[in-house]
A and B are shown apart, each in its own frame.
Chain A
Amino acid sequence: MSRLLSVLVLVGFVLLSLYPFAWMFFSSFKTNQEIYLPTQLLPEEFDGQAYRMLLDGKFIDFTGSLWQSVFIATAQALLATLVSALAGFVLAMYSFRSKAFLIGAALLIILIPRQALVVPVFEWLHWLGWTGNSFSLVLCGIASGLGVVFFSQSFSKLPVELMEVSRLEGFSPLRSFLLVIPLFAPSMVTYFLLHFALCWQEHLLVLLLLDDSSLTLPLALAKLSDVSHRAPESIGMAAAALSFIPIVLLFALFFRKMRTALSQLSIS
Protein backbone atom coordinates (compact mmCIF):
# COMPACT_ATOMS: atom_id res chain seq x y z
CA MET A 1 0.00 0.00 0.00
CA SER A 2 2.70 2.46 1.00
CA ARG A 3 4.68 1.33 -2.02
CA LEU A 4 1.76 2.21 -4.27
CA LEU A 5 1.61 5.64 -2.66
CA SER A 6 5.31 6.29 -3.15
CA VAL A 7 5.09 5.16 -6.77
CA LEU A 8 2.24 7.59 -7.33
CA VAL A 9 4.16 10.45 -5.72
CA LEU A 10 7.24 9.63 -7.79
CA VAL A 11 5.34 9.44 -11.03
CA GLY A 12 3.74 12.76 -10.17
CA PHE A 13 7.12 14.35 -9.68
CA VAL A 14 8.49 12.85 -12.86
CA LEU A 15 5.57 14.32 -14.78
CA LEU A 16 6.13 17.66 -13.08
CA SER A 17 9.78 17.55 -14.14
CA LEU A 18 9.11 16.56 -17.71
CA TYR A 19 5.93 18.49 -18.50
CA PRO A 20 7.65 21.86 -19.01
CA PHE A 21 10.07 20.25 -21.45
CA ALA A 22 7.28 18.65 -23.41
CA TRP A 23 5.52 21.98 -23.45
CA MET A 24 8.70 23.72 -24.58
CA PHE A 25 9.22 21.23 -27.38
CA PHE A 26 5.65 21.47 -28.66
CA SER A 27 5.70 25.23 -28.31
CA SER A 28 8.49 25.48 -30.82
CA PHE A 29 5.85 24.65 -33.42
CA LYS A 30 3.20 27.02 -32.12
CA THR A 31 2.18 30.49 -33.14
CA ASN A 32 2.64 33.33 -30.67
CA GLN A 33 -1.05 33.30 -29.90
CA GLU A 34 -1.01 29.64 -28.93
CA ILE A 35 2.08 30.10 -26.78
CA TYR A 36 0.39 32.71 -24.62
CA LEU A 37 -2.12 30.07 -23.54
CA PRO A 38 0.12 27.89 -21.35
CA THR A 39 -2.61 25.34 -20.70
CA GLN A 40 -2.63 24.29 -24.33
CA LEU A 41 -0.05 21.59 -24.83
CA LEU A 42 -0.23 20.60 -28.48
CA PRO A 43 0.11 23.00 -31.41
CA GLU A 44 -2.57 23.22 -34.10
CA GLU A 45 -0.16 22.09 -36.76
CA PHE A 46 3.44 20.97 -36.84
CA ASP A 47 5.81 22.80 -39.10
CA GLY A 48 9.52 23.17 -38.47
CA GLN A 49 9.65 26.77 -39.55
CA ALA A 50 11.06 28.01 -36.24
CA TYR A 51 13.96 25.57 -36.45
CA ARG A 52 14.72 26.60 -40.00
CA MET A 53 14.72 30.29 -39.11
CA LEU A 54 16.88 29.60 -36.07
CA LEU A 55 19.49 27.58 -37.93
CA ASP A 56 19.60 30.06 -40.79
CA GLY A 57 20.88 32.54 -38.24
CA LYS A 58 18.25 35.15 -38.92
CA PHE A 59 18.14 36.44 -35.35
CA ILE A 60 21.17 34.98 -33.63
CA ASP A 61 24.13 32.90 -34.73
CA PHE A 62 22.79 29.78 -33.05
CA THR A 63 25.26 27.19 -34.34
CA GLY A 64 28.14 29.51 -33.53
CA SER A 65 26.89 29.93 -29.96
CA LEU A 66 26.34 26.22 -29.63
CA TRP A 67 29.94 25.43 -30.59
CA GLN A 68 31.25 28.22 -28.43
CA SER A 69 29.35 26.80 -25.44
CA VAL A 70 30.42 23.24 -26.15
CA PHE A 71 34.04 24.31 -26.52
CA ILE A 72 34.14 26.41 -23.35
CA ALA A 73 32.29 23.92 -21.17
CA THR A 74 34.26 20.90 -22.39
CA ALA A 75 37.65 22.57 -22.11
CA GLN A 76 36.93 24.04 -18.73
CA ALA A 77 35.45 20.87 -17.29
CA LEU A 78 38.33 18.70 -18.56
CA LEU A 79 41.01 20.98 -17.15
CA ALA A 80 39.08 21.51 -13.92
CA THR A 81 38.79 17.76 -13.41
CA LEU A 82 42.51 17.28 -13.91
CA VAL A 83 43.62 20.20 -11.77
CA SER A 84 41.20 19.45 -8.94
CA ALA A 85 42.10 15.75 -9.00
CA LEU A 86 45.81 16.56 -8.63
CA ALA A 87 45.21 18.99 -5.80
CA GLY A 88 42.66 16.72 -4.10
CA PHE A 89 45.06 13.77 -4.32
CA VAL A 90 47.85 15.69 -2.63
CA LEU A 91 45.56 17.02 0.08
CA ALA A 92 43.98 13.63 0.82
CA MET A 93 47.01 11.36 0.60
CA TYR A 94 50.01 13.24 1.95
CA SER A 95 50.80 15.22 4.98
CA PHE A 96 53.31 17.98 4.61
CA ARG A 97 54.31 21.08 6.44
CA SER A 98 51.88 23.98 6.19
CA LYS A 99 49.16 21.66 4.91
CA ALA A 100 46.59 22.91 7.40
CA PHE A 101 47.41 26.47 6.44
CA LEU A 102 47.15 25.72 2.74
CA ILE A 103 43.78 24.00 3.08
CA GLY A 104 42.44 26.78 5.24
CA ALA A 105 43.58 29.63 3.05
CA ALA A 106 42.82 28.01 -0.27
CA LEU A 107 39.36 26.84 0.66
CA LEU A 108 38.35 29.95 2.52
CA ILE A 109 39.10 32.09 -0.51
CA ILE A 110 37.87 29.70 -3.13
CA LEU A 111 34.53 29.20 -1.40
CA ILE A 112 33.60 32.76 -2.19
CA PRO A 113 31.12 32.28 -5.00
CA ARG A 114 32.89 33.41 -8.14
CA GLN A 115 29.97 35.55 -9.21
CA ALA A 116 30.39 37.66 -6.10
CA LEU A 117 33.94 38.57 -7.12
CA VAL A 118 32.94 39.27 -10.66
CA VAL A 119 33.76 42.97 -10.74
CA PRO A 120 37.41 42.69 -9.58
CA VAL A 121 37.89 39.66 -11.84
CA PHE A 122 36.62 41.75 -14.71
CA GLU A 123 38.94 44.63 -13.79
CA TRP A 124 41.91 42.34 -13.53
CA LEU A 125 41.31 40.58 -16.83
CA HIS A 126 40.64 43.91 -18.45
CA TRP A 127 44.00 45.12 -17.19
CA LEU A 128 45.66 41.97 -18.55
CA GLY A 129 43.89 42.55 -21.84
CA TRP A 130 42.24 39.13 -21.76
CA THR A 131 38.64 40.17 -22.15
CA GLY A 132 36.78 39.18 -25.28
CA ASN A 133 38.75 35.96 -25.39
CA SER A 134 37.14 32.60 -24.77
CA PHE A 135 40.41 31.19 -23.36
CA SER A 136 40.32 33.57 -20.43
CA LEU A 137 36.80 32.37 -19.78
CA VAL A 138 37.99 28.76 -19.79
CA LEU A 139 40.89 29.55 -17.47
CA CYS A 140 39.03 31.55 -14.88
CA GLY A 141 36.64 28.77 -13.92
CA ILE A 142 39.13 25.94 -13.57
CA ALA A 143 40.19 26.24 -9.95
CA SER A 144 37.05 25.51 -7.97
CA GLY A 145 36.42 24.84 -4.33
CA LEU A 146 33.76 22.28 -5.11
CA GLY A 147 36.28 20.25 -7.13
CA VAL A 148 38.91 20.14 -4.44
CA VAL A 149 36.37 19.14 -1.82
CA PHE A 150 34.95 16.48 -4.12
CA PHE A 151 38.29 14.91 -4.96
CA SER A 152 39.89 15.07 -1.55
CA GLN A 153 36.78 13.29 -0.32
CA SER A 154 36.98 10.67 -3.08
CA PHE A 155 40.67 9.97 -2.61
CA SER A 156 40.37 9.68 1.14
CA LYS A 157 38.68 6.30 0.53
CA LEU A 158 41.97 4.93 -0.75
CA PRO A 159 43.79 2.68 1.75
CA VAL A 160 46.85 4.34 3.33
CA GLU A 161 48.78 1.11 2.82
CA LEU A 162 48.83 1.72 -0.91
CA MET A 163 50.64 4.98 -0.35
CA GLU A 164 53.08 3.26 2.04
CA VAL A 165 53.93 0.76 -0.67
CA SER A 166 54.46 3.39 -3.30
CA ARG A 167 56.70 5.28 -0.90
CA LEU A 168 58.79 2.19 -0.19
CA GLU A 169 59.14 1.71 -3.92
CA GLY A 170 60.42 5.27 -4.09
CA PHE A 171 57.74 6.49 -6.45
CA SER A 172 57.38 10.19 -6.92
CA PRO A 173 54.00 11.68 -5.99
CA LEU A 174 53.18 12.12 -9.66
CA ARG A 175 53.92 8.44 -10.35
CA SER A 176 51.68 7.36 -7.47
CA PHE A 177 48.95 9.62 -8.77
CA LEU A 178 49.15 8.02 -12.20
CA LEU A 179 49.02 4.59 -10.59
CA VAL A 180 45.85 5.16 -8.62
CA ILE A 181 43.96 7.36 -11.04
CA PRO A 182 42.44 4.52 -13.12
CA LEU A 183 40.60 3.42 -9.98
CA PHE A 184 38.92 6.79 -9.88
CA ALA A 185 37.57 6.95 -13.39
CA PRO A 186 33.93 7.13 -12.15
CA SER A 187 34.78 10.01 -9.83
CA MET A 188 36.54 11.88 -12.59
CA VAL A 189 33.62 11.39 -14.96
CA THR A 190 31.19 12.56 -12.27
CA TYR A 191 33.08 15.70 -11.52
CA PHE A 192 33.48 16.37 -15.21
CA LEU A 193 29.73 16.18 -15.62
CA LEU A 194 28.98 18.40 -12.63
CA HIS A 195 31.44 21.01 -13.76
CA PHE A 196 30.22 20.81 -17.32
CA ALA A 197 26.64 21.42 -16.19
CA LEU A 198 27.63 24.43 -14.08
CA CYS A 199 29.80 25.90 -16.82
CA TRP A 200 27.10 25.33 -19.40
CA GLN A 201 24.79 27.55 -17.36
CA GLU A 202 27.30 30.31 -16.64
CA HIS A 203 25.80 33.63 -17.58
CA LEU A 204 27.31 36.54 -15.71
CA LEU A 205 31.02 36.05 -16.38
CA VAL A 206 30.32 35.44 -20.04
CA LEU A 207 28.25 38.58 -20.14
CA LEU A 208 31.21 40.57 -18.88
CA LEU A 209 34.11 38.85 -20.59
CA LEU A 210 32.93 38.09 -24.10
CA ASP A 211 32.00 40.58 -26.75
CA ASP A 212 28.92 40.27 -28.89
CA SER A 213 30.50 38.34 -31.73
CA SER A 214 30.97 35.11 -29.79
CA LEU A 215 28.13 34.59 -27.36
CA THR A 216 27.52 31.37 -25.48
CA LEU A 217 24.08 29.81 -25.37
CA PRO A 218 22.68 31.43 -22.21
CA LEU A 219 23.48 34.86 -23.61
CA ALA A 220 22.22 34.06 -27.06
CA LEU A 221 18.95 32.88 -25.55
CA ALA A 222 18.66 35.98 -23.38
CA LYS A 223 19.29 38.10 -26.46
CA LEU A 224 16.62 36.21 -28.32
CA SER A 225 14.01 36.86 -25.65
CA ASP A 226 14.89 40.55 -25.73
CA VAL A 227 11.75 42.18 -27.06
CA SER A 228 13.54 44.55 -29.40
CA HIS A 229 14.37 41.71 -31.78
CA ARG A 230 10.73 40.87 -32.37
CA ALA A 231 11.58 37.22 -32.81
CA PRO A 232 8.53 34.95 -32.63
CA GLU A 233 8.35 33.11 -29.32
CA SER A 234 8.53 29.78 -31.07
CA ILE A 235 12.13 30.51 -32.08
CA GLY A 236 13.11 30.99 -28.45
CA MET A 237 11.44 27.68 -27.63
CA ALA A 238 13.23 25.96 -30.50
CA ALA A 239 16.57 27.37 -29.36
CA ALA A 240 15.91 26.24 -25.79
CA ALA A 241 14.97 22.76 -27.00
CA LEU A 242 18.05 22.41 -29.17
CA SER A 243 20.44 23.79 -26.56
CA PHE A 244 19.17 21.17 -24.21
CA ILE A 245 20.09 18.14 -26.35
CA PRO A 246 23.92 18.03 -25.98
CA ILE A 247 23.95 18.08 -22.19
CA VAL A 248 21.19 15.51 -21.81
CA LEU A 249 23.02 13.16 -24.18
CA LEU A 250 26.23 13.61 -22.22
CA PHE A 251 24.55 12.84 -18.91
CA ALA A 252 22.63 9.90 -20.34
CA LEU A 253 25.87 8.42 -21.63
CA PHE A 254 27.68 8.57 -18.28
CA PHE A 255 24.76 8.28 -15.90
CA ARG A 256 25.71 4.80 -14.65
CA LYS A 257 29.31 5.83 -13.91
CA MET A 258 28.01 8.84 -12.06
CA ARG A 259 25.82 6.74 -9.81
CA THR A 260 28.71 4.42 -8.98
CA ALA A 261 30.96 7.31 -8.03
CA LEU A 262 28.30 9.02 -5.92
CA SER A 263 27.55 5.93 -3.92
CA GLN A 264 31.25 5.42 -3.26
CA LEU A 265 31.52 9.00 -2.12
CA SER A 266 28.82 8.63 0.49
CA ILE A 267 30.21 5.68 2.43
CA SER A 268 31.86 7.03 5.50
Chain B
Amino acid sequence: MNGLPQESFRRLFPLLLPFLALWVLFWVVPLFLGVDLALQNPDSGFATSENTEIEYVGLENFERIISDPKFHKALSNTLYYVLGSVICIIPLAFVLAVGLFELPRLYRGTLAFCLLIPGLALPGAMSKLFYLFFHGREGALNQYLIIPLGLDPINWMMDPDFIMPSLVLQSVWRWTGVVTLFFLCALEGIPSWHFEVAKLEGMKSLSRMRLILVPGVRNLALFAGVFLIVDGVASFSGAYTLLGGSGGILDSGLLLVTYVYQVAFPGGSGRFDLPGATAMSLLVAPIVAGFLFSILRLRFLQTRS
Protein backbone atom coordinates (compact mmCIF):
# COMPACT_ATOMS: atom_id res chain seq x y z
CA MET B 1 0.00 0.00 0.00
CA ASN B 2 1.52 3.22 -1.29
CA GLY B 3 5.08 2.70 -0.15
CA LEU B 4 4.56 2.52 3.57
CA PRO B 5 6.42 -0.26 5.33
CA GLN B 6 4.25 -3.32 5.80
CA GLU B 7 4.08 -4.51 9.37
CA SER B 8 2.19 -7.26 11.09
CA PHE B 9 -0.59 -6.08 13.32
CA ARG B 10 0.88 -8.03 16.22
CA ARG B 11 4.02 -5.90 16.27
CA LEU B 12 2.07 -2.66 16.03
CA PHE B 13 -0.39 -3.70 18.67
CA PRO B 14 1.54 -2.36 21.70
CA LEU B 15 1.49 1.13 20.22
CA LEU B 16 -2.19 1.02 19.46
CA LEU B 17 -3.15 -0.67 22.70
CA PRO B 18 -3.69 2.40 24.90
CA PHE B 19 -5.82 4.05 22.27
CA LEU B 20 -7.82 0.94 21.51
CA ALA B 21 -8.40 0.16 25.18
CA LEU B 22 -9.72 3.63 25.94
CA TRP B 23 -11.69 3.60 22.73
CA VAL B 24 -13.49 0.41 23.70
CA LEU B 25 -13.95 1.52 27.30
CA PHE B 26 -15.35 4.97 26.64
CA TRP B 27 -16.88 4.84 23.20
CA VAL B 28 -17.81 1.37 22.05
CA VAL B 29 -19.23 0.08 25.33
CA PRO B 30 -21.27 3.23 26.03
CA LEU B 31 -22.57 3.12 22.48
CA PHE B 32 -23.89 -0.42 22.86
CA LEU B 33 -25.15 0.31 26.35
CA GLY B 34 -26.89 3.32 24.89
CA VAL B 35 -28.65 1.20 22.27
CA ASP B 36 -29.78 -1.15 25.03
CA LEU B 37 -30.90 1.72 27.23
CA ALA B 38 -32.82 3.42 24.46
CA LEU B 39 -35.01 0.37 24.03
CA GLN B 40 -36.14 0.25 27.65
CA ASN B 41 -39.31 1.62 29.14
CA PRO B 42 -38.59 4.84 31.05
CA ASP B 43 -41.60 4.35 33.32
CA SER B 44 -40.87 0.93 34.71
CA GLY B 45 -37.33 1.49 35.91
CA PHE B 46 -34.15 0.76 34.02
CA ALA B 47 -30.65 -0.53 34.56
CA THR B 48 -29.40 1.65 37.41
CA SER B 49 -32.55 2.52 39.28
CA GLU B 50 -33.58 0.56 42.37
CA ASN B 51 -36.46 -1.05 40.57
CA THR B 52 -34.59 -3.63 38.56
CA GLU B 53 -37.43 -4.88 36.43
CA ILE B 54 -36.32 -3.94 32.99
CA GLU B 55 -38.96 -3.79 30.36
CA TYR B 56 -38.13 -3.46 26.71
CA VAL B 57 -40.46 -1.40 24.60
CA GLY B 58 -38.84 -1.62 21.20
CA LEU B 59 -38.59 1.58 19.24
CA GLU B 60 -41.20 3.43 21.28
CA ASN B 61 -38.67 5.88 22.73
CA PHE B 62 -37.45 6.78 19.29
CA GLU B 63 -40.97 7.38 18.08
CA ARG B 64 -41.70 9.53 21.10
CA ILE B 65 -38.61 11.63 20.51
CA ILE B 66 -39.17 12.00 16.79
CA SER B 67 -42.65 13.37 17.36
CA ASP B 68 -41.48 15.71 20.14
CA PRO B 69 -41.71 19.33 18.90
CA LYS B 70 -39.08 20.43 21.42
CA PHE B 71 -36.63 18.00 19.87
CA HIS B 72 -37.26 19.54 16.46
CA LYS B 73 -36.75 22.97 17.95
CA ALA B 74 -33.48 21.91 19.59
CA LEU B 75 -32.29 20.27 16.39
CA SER B 76 -33.00 23.27 14.20
CA ASN B 77 -31.48 25.63 16.79
CA THR B 78 -28.31 23.57 16.88
CA LEU B 79 -28.16 23.51 13.10
CA TYR B 80 -28.63 27.27 13.05
CA TYR B 81 -25.90 27.69 15.65
CA VAL B 82 -23.36 25.44 13.93
CA LEU B 83 -23.97 26.73 10.40
CA GLY B 84 -24.16 30.33 11.57
CA SER B 85 -20.85 30.03 13.39
CA VAL B 86 -19.04 28.32 10.53
CA ILE B 87 -20.39 30.71 7.90
CA CYS B 88 -19.48 33.80 9.92
CA ILE B 89 -16.18 32.67 11.35
CA ILE B 90 -14.30 31.14 8.45
CA PRO B 91 -14.48 34.07 5.97
CA LEU B 92 -13.96 36.62 8.74
CA ALA B 93 -10.93 34.75 10.06
CA PHE B 94 -9.52 34.50 6.55
CA VAL B 95 -9.77 38.25 6.03
CA LEU B 96 -8.16 38.91 9.39
CA ALA B 97 -5.39 36.40 8.75
CA VAL B 98 -4.57 37.98 5.37
CA GLY B 99 -4.51 41.36 7.07
CA LEU B 100 -2.10 40.06 9.69
CA PHE B 101 0.03 38.38 7.05
CA GLU B 102 0.61 41.69 5.27
CA LEU B 103 2.00 43.21 8.46
CA PRO B 104 5.66 43.03 9.48
CA ARG B 105 6.48 39.81 11.33
CA LEU B 106 7.18 41.68 14.54
CA TYR B 107 3.55 42.64 15.18
CA ARG B 108 1.89 39.51 13.85
CA GLY B 109 2.50 37.35 16.87
CA THR B 110 1.31 39.88 19.42
CA LEU B 111 -1.86 40.74 17.52
CA ALA B 112 -2.64 37.09 16.80
CA PHE B 113 -2.23 36.27 20.48
CA CYS B 114 -4.60 39.06 21.47
CA LEU B 115 -7.16 37.69 19.02
CA LEU B 116 -6.69 34.20 20.44
CA ILE B 117 -7.52 35.18 23.99
CA PRO B 118 -11.34 34.95 23.77
CA GLY B 119 -11.01 31.29 22.82
CA LEU B 120 -9.29 30.55 26.11
CA ALA B 121 -11.91 31.99 28.41
CA LEU B 122 -14.41 29.73 30.10
CA PRO B 123 -17.72 30.03 28.24
CA GLY B 124 -19.57 29.85 31.53
CA ALA B 125 -17.60 32.76 32.93
CA MET B 126 -18.12 34.82 29.83
CA SER B 127 -21.84 34.19 29.60
CA LYS B 128 -22.46 36.26 32.73
CA LEU B 129 -20.62 39.05 31.01
CA PHE B 130 -22.58 38.59 27.82
CA TYR B 131 -25.78 38.56 29.75
CA LEU B 132 -24.96 42.04 30.98
CA PHE B 133 -23.76 43.17 27.57
CA PHE B 134 -26.84 41.96 25.77
CA HIS B 135 -29.32 42.67 28.49
CA GLY B 136 -31.97 45.32 28.10
CA ARG B 137 -31.62 48.88 26.99
CA GLU B 138 -28.55 49.59 29.09
CA GLY B 139 -26.59 46.70 27.52
CA ALA B 140 -23.35 47.72 25.88
CA LEU B 141 -24.35 46.27 22.54
CA ASN B 142 -27.46 48.41 22.40
CA GLN B 143 -25.68 51.49 23.68
CA TYR B 144 -22.65 51.29 21.40
CA LEU B 145 -24.01 49.74 18.25
CA ILE B 146 -27.76 49.64 17.84
CA ILE B 147 -28.75 53.08 19.15
CA PRO B 148 -25.97 54.99 17.31
CA LEU B 149 -27.13 53.29 14.11
CA GLY B 150 -30.50 54.89 14.70
CA LEU B 151 -32.31 51.62 15.34
CA ASP B 152 -34.58 50.69 18.19
CA PRO B 153 -32.74 48.97 21.01
CA ILE B 154 -33.04 45.20 20.76
CA ASN B 155 -33.92 43.14 23.78
CA TRP B 156 -31.42 40.42 22.87
CA MET B 157 -32.09 37.96 25.64
CA MET B 158 -35.86 38.24 25.86
CA ASP B 159 -36.90 38.51 22.24
CA PRO B 160 -37.21 34.98 20.80
CA ASP B 161 -35.97 36.21 17.44
CA PHE B 162 -32.68 37.39 18.84
CA ILE B 163 -31.58 34.69 21.24
CA MET B 164 -30.01 32.51 18.58
CA PRO B 165 -28.22 35.41 16.85
CA SER B 166 -26.81 36.43 20.20
CA LEU B 167 -25.56 32.88 20.82
CA VAL B 168 -23.98 32.85 17.37
CA LEU B 169 -22.39 36.24 18.08
CA GLN B 170 -20.85 34.77 21.21
CA SER B 171 -19.48 31.85 19.27
CA VAL B 172 -18.05 34.19 16.64
CA TRP B 173 -16.41 36.28 19.33
CA ARG B 174 -14.90 33.18 20.91
CA TRP B 175 -13.53 31.27 17.97
CA THR B 176 -12.67 33.82 15.28
CA GLY B 177 -9.26 34.47 16.84
CA VAL B 178 -8.39 30.79 17.09
CA VAL B 179 -9.30 30.18 13.46
CA THR B 180 -7.41 33.34 12.46
CA LEU B 181 -4.32 31.88 14.11
CA PHE B 182 -4.78 28.63 12.18
CA PHE B 183 -5.03 30.58 8.93
CA LEU B 184 -2.12 32.85 9.71
CA CYS B 185 0.11 29.85 10.34
CA ALA B 186 -1.11 28.29 7.11
CA LEU B 187 -0.22 31.45 5.18
CA GLU B 188 3.21 31.52 6.80
CA GLY B 189 3.69 27.93 5.71
CA ILE B 190 3.30 28.79 2.02
CA PRO B 191 6.75 28.50 0.39
CA SER B 192 8.08 31.96 -0.43
CA TRP B 193 8.82 31.12 -4.08
CA HIS B 194 5.08 31.09 -4.70
CA PHE B 195 5.02 34.80 -3.90
CA GLU B 196 8.13 35.48 -5.98
CA VAL B 197 6.53 33.80 -8.99
CA ALA B 198 3.39 35.85 -8.40
CA LYS B 199 5.48 39.00 -8.39
CA LEU B 200 7.33 38.07 -11.59
CA GLU B 201 4.07 37.21 -13.29
CA GLY B 202 2.75 40.59 -12.21
CA MET B 203 -0.27 38.97 -10.60
CA LYS B 204 -3.06 41.22 -9.43
CA SER B 205 -3.91 40.96 -5.77
CA LEU B 206 -7.21 39.28 -6.53
CA SER B 207 -5.71 36.41 -8.48
CA ARG B 208 -2.90 36.22 -5.94
CA MET B 209 -5.61 35.68 -3.37
CA ARG B 210 -7.37 33.07 -5.46
CA LEU B 211 -4.34 31.13 -6.64
CA ILE B 212 -2.01 31.23 -3.64
CA LEU B 213 -3.65 32.31 -0.41
CA VAL B 214 -6.91 30.39 -0.58
CA PRO B 215 -5.32 27.05 -1.56
CA GLY B 216 -2.75 27.67 1.17
CA VAL B 217 -5.29 27.70 3.96
CA ARG B 218 -7.58 25.02 2.59
CA ASN B 219 -6.22 22.22 4.76
CA LEU B 220 -6.51 24.14 7.97
CA ALA B 221 -9.88 25.54 6.92
CA LEU B 222 -11.21 22.00 6.87
CA PHE B 223 -9.61 21.29 10.21
CA ALA B 224 -11.14 24.46 11.64
CA GLY B 225 -14.51 23.52 10.17
CA VAL B 226 -14.40 20.13 11.86
CA PHE B 227 -13.35 21.76 15.11
CA LEU B 228 -16.19 24.27 14.95
CA ILE B 229 -18.80 21.67 14.08
CA VAL B 230 -17.73 19.40 16.93
CA ASP B 231 -17.69 22.31 19.34
CA GLY B 232 -21.01 23.65 18.09
CA VAL B 233 -22.88 20.38 18.33
CA ALA B 234 -21.43 19.76 21.75
CA SER B 235 -21.83 23.28 23.05
CA PHE B 236 -23.54 23.37 26.37
CA SER B 237 -21.76 25.47 28.92
CA GLY B 238 -22.31 28.93 27.44
CA ALA B 239 -25.98 28.62 26.64
CA TYR B 240 -26.65 26.64 29.83
CA THR B 241 -25.19 29.31 32.08
CA LEU B 242 -26.52 32.19 30.00
CA LEU B 243 -30.09 30.95 30.02
CA GLY B 244 -29.94 29.49 33.51
CA GLY B 245 -30.42 25.89 32.39
CA SER B 246 -33.61 26.54 30.49
CA GLY B 247 -34.13 26.95 26.79
CA GLY B 248 -34.88 30.65 27.11
CA ILE B 249 -38.18 32.28 26.17
CA LEU B 250 -40.34 29.81 24.19
CA ASP B 251 -37.30 27.50 24.03
CA SER B 252 -35.92 29.69 21.29
CA GLY B 253 -32.39 29.20 22.62
CA LEU B 254 -32.67 25.48 23.30
CA LEU B 255 -29.63 23.61 22.06
CA LEU B 256 -29.48 19.89 21.55
CA VAL B 257 -27.13 18.93 24.37
CA THR B 258 -29.03 21.16 26.78
CA TYR B 259 -32.23 19.38 25.84
CA VAL B 260 -30.63 15.95 26.21
CA TYR B 261 -29.58 17.03 29.68
CA GLN B 262 -33.02 18.42 30.49
CA VAL B 263 -34.76 15.21 29.45
CA ALA B 264 -32.29 12.98 31.24
CA PHE B 265 -32.07 14.94 34.48
CA PRO B 266 -35.08 17.21 34.80
CA GLY B 267 -34.64 19.56 37.71
CA GLY B 268 -37.15 19.05 40.47
CA SER B 269 -39.69 16.70 38.94
CA GLY B 270 -37.37 13.75 39.46
CA ARG B 271 -38.69 11.69 36.59
CA PHE B 272 -35.42 10.76 34.95
CA ASP B 273 -35.97 9.83 31.36
CA LEU B 274 -32.59 8.37 30.54
CA PRO B 275 -33.91 6.08 27.78
CA GLY B 276 -35.55 9.01 26.01
CA ALA B 277 -32.41 11.13 26.27
CA THR B 278 -30.29 8.29 24.96
CA ALA B 279 -32.62 7.69 22.06
CA MET B 280 -32.23 11.36 21.21
CA SER B 281 -28.44 11.10 21.25
CA LEU B 282 -28.52 8.00 19.13
CA LEU B 283 -30.70 9.70 16.55
CA VAL B 284 -28.32 12.59 16.14
CA ALA B 285 -24.88 11.12 16.76
CA PRO B 286 -24.59 9.01 13.58
CA ILE B 287 -25.58 11.97 11.41
CA VAL B 288 -22.91 14.22 12.91
CA ALA B 289 -20.27 11.52 12.86
CA GLY B 290 -21.05 10.50 9.30
CA PHE B 291 -20.97 14.10 8.14
CA LEU B 292 -17.62 14.81 9.80
CA PHE B 293 -16.22 11.54 8.54
CA SER B 294 -17.05 12.40 4.95
CA ILE B 295 -15.42 15.82 5.32
CA LEU B 296 -12.29 14.22 6.72
CA ARG B 297 -12.22 11.53 4.07
CA LEU B 298 -11.96 14.39 1.60
CA ARG B 299 -8.48 15.35 2.71
CA PHE B 300 -7.06 14.24 5.97
CA LEU B 301 -7.13 10.50 5.65
CA GLN B 302 -5.62 10.19 2.23
CA THR B 303 -2.15 10.25 3.68
CA ARG B 304 0.41 9.90 0.92
CA SER B 305 -1.65 8.74 -1.97
By a beta-carbon cutoff of 8 Å, the part of chain A in contact with chain B is 3, 6-7, 9-10, 13-14, 16-18, 20-21, 23-24, 35-39, 82-84, 86-87, 89-99, 103-104, 106-121, 123-124, 126-127, 139-140, 142-143, 145-146, 148-150, 152-153, 156, 160, 163-164, 167, 172-174, 177, 197, 200-201, 203-204, 208, 217-218, 221-222, 225, 233, 236-237, 239-240, 243-244, 247-248, 251-252, 255-256, 258-259, 262-268
Question: Could you list 13 A-B pairs, sorted by A, with CB under 8 Å?
Answer: A6-B99, A13-B96, A16-B173, A38-B143, A87-B15, A95-B4, A111-B296, A112-B31, A156-B304, A177-B15, A204-B237, A256-B109, A262-B182
Distance between A174 CB and nearest chain B CB, rounded to angstroms: 6
Kindly identify which residue among A91, A203, A251, A267 contacts B120, using a CB–CB cutoff of 8 Å: A251
Known A-B contacts A20-B133, A244-B121; A14 and B114 likewise in contact (beta carbons under 8 Å): yes
Distance between A67 CB and nearest chain B CB, rounded to angstroms: 16
Q: Which residues of B contact A98 (CB under 8 A)?
A: 9
Known A-B contacts A204-B236, A266-B186; A109 and B31 likewise in contact (beta carbons under 8 Å): yes
Q: Which residues of B contact A204 (CB under 8 A)?
A: 236-237, 257, 261
Q: Which residues of B contact A150 (CB under 8 A)?
A: 223
Known A-B contacts A167-B5, A262-B182; A38 and B133 likewise in contact (beta carbons under 8 Å): yes
B146 within 8 A of partner (CB): no
B260 within 8 A of partner (CB): yes
Which residue of chain B has its CB nearest to the CB of A41?
A: B140
B303 within 8 A of partner (CB): yes
Q: Is the CB of A38 within 8 A of B22?
A: no
Interface of A is mostly: helix
The B107-127 residues at the A interface (CB cut-off 8 A) are: 109, 111-126
Give the B interface residue count (CB, 8 A): 115
Which residue of chain B has its CB nearest to the CB of A153?
A: B300
Q: Is the CB of A143 within 8 A of B230?
A: no
Q: Which residues of A contact B211 (CB under 8 A)?
A: none
Q: Is the CB of A265 within 8 A of B219?
A: yes
Known A-B contacts A109-B23, A112-B285; A119 and B278 likewise in contact (beta carbons under 8 Å): yes
Task: Give A248 to B118 CA distance when docked, in angstroms.
Answer: 10
Q: Which residues of A contact B190 (CB under 8 A)?
A: 267
Q: Is the CB of B7 within 8 A of A247?
A: no
Kindly identify which residue among B18, B260, B288, B292 contacts A119, using a CB–CB cutoff of 8 Å: B260
Q: Is the CB of B220 within 8 A of A265?
A: yes
Task: Give A127 to B181 CA distance when docked, in angstroms.
Answer: 42
Q: Is the CB of B96 within 8 A of A10?
A: yes
Q: Is the CB of B241 within 8 A of A222?
A: yes
Task: Give A95 to B124 CA distance when docked, in angstroms.
Answer: 44
B270 within 8 A of partner (CB): no
Which residue of chain A has its CB nearest to the CB of B141?
A: A38
Task: Give A92 to B304 CA distance when docked, in angstroms.
Answer: 9
Task: Give A172 to B190 CA distance when docked, in angstroms.
Answer: 35
Give the 6 A-B CB pairs with smallest separation, nearest first: A120-B34, A262-B185, A263-B189, A240-B125, A6-B99, A203-B237
Distance between B288 CB and nearest chain A CB, rounded to angstroms: 6
Q: Which residues of A contact B304 (CB under 8 A)?
A: 156, 160
Give per-residue flags for B1-20: 1 if the beta carbon is below 8 A from chain A beta carbons, else 0.
11111111101101110111
Supplied contacts A86-B18, A148-B19, A262-B220, 19 more A-B pairs, CB within 8 Å: A6-B98, A13-B115, A20-B133, A21-B117, A82-B18, A90-B15, A96-B6, A113-B233, A117-B30, A117-B34, A120-B34, A121-B30, A127-B47, A143-B23, A149-B226, A197-B119, A203-B237, A221-B124, A266-B186
